[in-house]
């Protein structure tokens, strides 16, 4: 699809396949609102893209939100990114792993409330992490294995990582959670590398402390910058995704920052959002067709 000078952007519509399908009316509505070119199908009934000017993404999202359809807008050029930096909890996996550890210890509600406030930017990340981990002091290390059994990958996680990897991207799982989980999730998905915090233990018990330095928002951004430098590209060539306030620094800087089923504080700031669909949408945003997705 050749882009005219006035078509400097690409509009992507993605439907939640479990709830609906894209219809000709949906596509025509988006095309009229964005004054877009003819649509190109990325996945029948699921995703289309169309060249356009700079559309009002908030207005488009408002039109389609109740229809289980996500709207993403990217610059028309340089769409397939060379670096992926992804958060883990509530992004690549469906749970908050620290909350799951706490649940198995019988203190789930107390820690989950601190997590909620931290991820919405109401309290500072490092302080919230220290406070939550301190509550685990003296608990058995075996709780981590129990929590691991609850971990489930979000739909599209493997496709996202392996498809981008096959396309030459360097992929990194960078989490404010713990290496016990990121190492395993990274292996399942095929990430090239993973980085997270370390829960400290003495013998068979957790000490209630975290290894230093703590991996927080600044470290996530630092990993993004390191990865693009190592790839010999710029931040414009990077895709970052996450759901919490500690992801905002990297979401703001990446060429394509996508808030994934994110907290209100993140949705207020990041324009590209996946609220109704899955991690497959991050591939459609880059112009991948479903037939190109790598699953194994």
List active site positions. 87, 89
- Interacting residues of 171 by C-beta distance below 8 A, sequence separation 6+: 83, 84, 86, 161, 164, 165, 190, 191, 192, 193
List of residues 6+ apart from 241 with CB closer than 8 A: 84, 85, 86, 87, 91, 247, 251, 257, 258, 259, 260, 279, 282
Given CA atoms 144, 183, 81, 253 in this order, what sign does their dihedral have?
A: positive
- Reading the block at residue 257, the tokens are 């920052």
Going by C-alpha positions, the residue among 252, 262, 259 that lies closest to residue 281 is 259
- Say which residues have a Cβ less than 8 Å from residue 190's Cβ, sequence separation at least 6: 158, 161, 162, 165, 171
CA pair distance 225, 54, nearest whole angstrom? 27
- Strand ranges, E, within 165-210: 170-178, 193-197, 199-202, 205-210
How far apart CA 73 and CA 273 sit, in angstroms, is: 10
Closest CA to 141 of 208, 207, 204: 204
- CA–CA distance, 256 with 75 (Å, rounded to integer): 9
Of 233, 253, 232, which is closest to residue 241 (Cα–Cα)? 253
**3-class secondary structure, 97:** helix
């Amino acid at each position: 699809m050749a882009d005219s000078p006035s078509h400097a952007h690409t509009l992507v519509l993605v439907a939640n396949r479990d709830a609906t399908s894209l219809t000709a009316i949906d596509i025509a509505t988006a095309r009229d609102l964005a004054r877009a070119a003819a649509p190109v199908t990325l996945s029948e009934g699921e995703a289309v893209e169309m060249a356009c000017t700079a559309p009002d993404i908030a207005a488009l999202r408002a039109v389609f939100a109740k229809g289980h359809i996500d709207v993403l807008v990217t610059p028309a050029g340089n769409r397939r990114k060379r670096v992926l930096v992804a958060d883990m909890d509530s992004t690549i996996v469906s749970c908050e792993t620290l909350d799951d550890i706490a649940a198995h210890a019988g203190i789930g509600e107390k820690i989950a409330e601190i997590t909620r406030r931290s991820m919405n930017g109401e309290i500072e990340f490092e302080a919230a992490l220290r406070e939550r981990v301190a509550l685990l002091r003296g608990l058995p290390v075996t709780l981590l294995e129990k929590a691991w059994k609850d971990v489930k990958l979000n739909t599209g996680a493997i496709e996202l990582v392996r498809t981008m990897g096959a396309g030459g991207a360097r992929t990194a799982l960078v989490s404010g959670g713990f290496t016990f989980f990121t190492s395993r999730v990274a292996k399942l998905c095929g990430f090239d590398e993973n980085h997270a915090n370390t829960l400290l233990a003495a013998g068979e018990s957790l000490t209630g402390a975290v290894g230093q330095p703590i991996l927080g928002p600044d470290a996530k951004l630092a990993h993004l910058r390191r990865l693009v430098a190592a790839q010999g590209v710029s931040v414009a060539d990077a895709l970052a995704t996450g759901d919490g306030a500690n992801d905002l620094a990297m979401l703001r800087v990446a060429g394509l920052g996508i808030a994934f089923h994110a907290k209100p504080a993140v949705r207020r700031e990041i324009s590209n959002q996946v609220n109704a669909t899955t991690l497959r949408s991050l591939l459609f945003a880059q112009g991948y067709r479903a037939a190109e997705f790598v699953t194994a």
